Amino acid sequence: MLDPMSMRTPIAFALLAACGSNSKSGDANPGDGVRTDTGAPIVDAPPQMACSPTSGTTVSFRKIGMVSGSAVLATSPPNDGRLFVLEQNGRIRIFENEQLKATPFLDINNLIAAGGEQGLLGLTFHPDYAHNNYFYVFYTTANANVVARYTASSTNLNVADPASAQIVLSIPDFATNHNGGMMEFGSDGFLYVSTGDGGGGGDPHRNGQATSRTAASCTASQCEPLLGKILRIDVDHPANGKNYGIPSSNPFAGGGGEPEIFVYGLRNPWRWSFDRMTGDMWIGDVGQNTTEEIDWLPAGQQAGKNLGWSMYEANGCYNSPNQGYVCSTTGITPPVQERPAASGYHAIIGGQVYRGACYPDLKGTYFYSDNSKGVLSKITVSGSTVTNTDLATTVPGGPASLHADSRGELYLTTSSNPGGVYHLEAAP
């Protein structure tokens, strides 16, 4: 199960310690729900659940059900009424009409290193999942963080083929903690992947600020520059012997750094998301010793941004003895919200902006939580004014994610074992 304090120490005992044009980032365009790419009979995805819009901003959580392992994420394919819940132990489970199916969608327990901060950590569905059945998972092994593509059955949408695995990306990782693992497709059709700094406490290999493995500073610190980042890759156009291509608008696509890098200077972006309407990126980055942070990168202001770690921890100069940085705010994008460890915040759970139809008064509100503090907070943006509010509501113990289904409805999952799944609801 999750232990938020492990994210702050060199030793990890728990999970936390997260084809198109070069248009702005956002959630992927939905498919049309009809499968035509195989000779197998067409099987339509279950329709999305309807709801009666309810006014009000008094937020609560309603329990949907439990899964057998720690529930680290709930999400859905485009235009699909099912809810897919990720278990840290290597299984993906399906809720349909709020009923848990007995058979896992996928079970790769035999492939992964699980426990502590390791396991099956991320899941996202291809924008054209309705036709190609492709979905992507992020998992850890003993010495690497892996992004792999799998294919769902064309005749039974409730199961996937374990033998269909294709390794898209494998990143060497020297420690068990700070793995990131959140993935989403943007409206540009590209796959965005968050990685932690590799662990060890204090970023000992200086991965957060590393952008090129050929740089002298990287050679000296034995860095892995794909760690401590948000990466952006093109899974639909493989190139140069890899199972992905590089979008031409990536900040280092033309040289000067590793071409996969999109945003850098992150410690452990365990959970982040796009605003599905605006394309803004919201990132919850877990801090070291003093501060948790929420980062907000508006659409069109994301590529190449440096969020500071490990020169900075949130707005504070970190500069541990092994770093040797001279702190400078030049080129650093500060967080939009800080939460102090002294107040009980130890593992920020980046959430999502509500864009569903069930609770219209919540639209445009960003919700987030903390695995240790167990508080639900919201951020609203009006022009240049950013307002944070902590909400008076009971939050299930050990939040691990707060993420939207295909309708834009938000679901909270918990790191308990067994793990819980809860629907965020509102009333007058």
Q: For 304, left (φ over 0), alpha (ψ -120 to 50), or beta?
A: left
pLDDT in tens, 158-192: 999 999 999 999 999 999 999 999 999 999 999 99
Residue 216 host element (H or E): helix 216-221
Is residue 310 reached through a cis peptide bond, with omega within 30 degrees of 0 on the bond before it?
Answer: yes
| CATH code where residue 291 lies | 2.120.10.30
Residue 313 has pLDDT above 70, yes or no: yes
pLDDT in tens, 241-289: 999 999 999 999 999 999 999 999 999 999 999 999 999 999 999 999 9
Closest C-alpha among 59, 64, 100, 49 to residue 422: 64
pLDDT in tens, 64-93: 999 999 999 999 999 999 999 999 999 999
- pLDDT at residue 332 in the model: 97
Torsion of CA 171, 16, 310, 245, to 10 degrees: 30
Whose tokens are 């392992």? That residue is 69
Global pTM?
Answer: 0.92
Residue 136 has pLDDT above 50, yes or no: yes
**Domain count along the chain:** 1
* Strand partners for 337: 294
Domain that holds residue 161: 4-427
Q: What mean pLDDT is predicted for residues 225-240?
A: 98
Q: How far apart are CA 150 and CA 147, in angstroms?
A: 10
pLDDT in tens, 79-134: 999 999 999 999 999 999 999 999 999 999 999 999 999 999 999 999 999 999 99
Residue 301 has pLDDT above 90, yes or no: yes
Q: Tell me the three state secondary structure of residue 339.
A: strand
E strands, 234-365, are 261-264, 271-274, 281-285, 291-297, 312-313, 316-317, 337-340, 348-353
- pLDDT at residue 131 in the model: 95
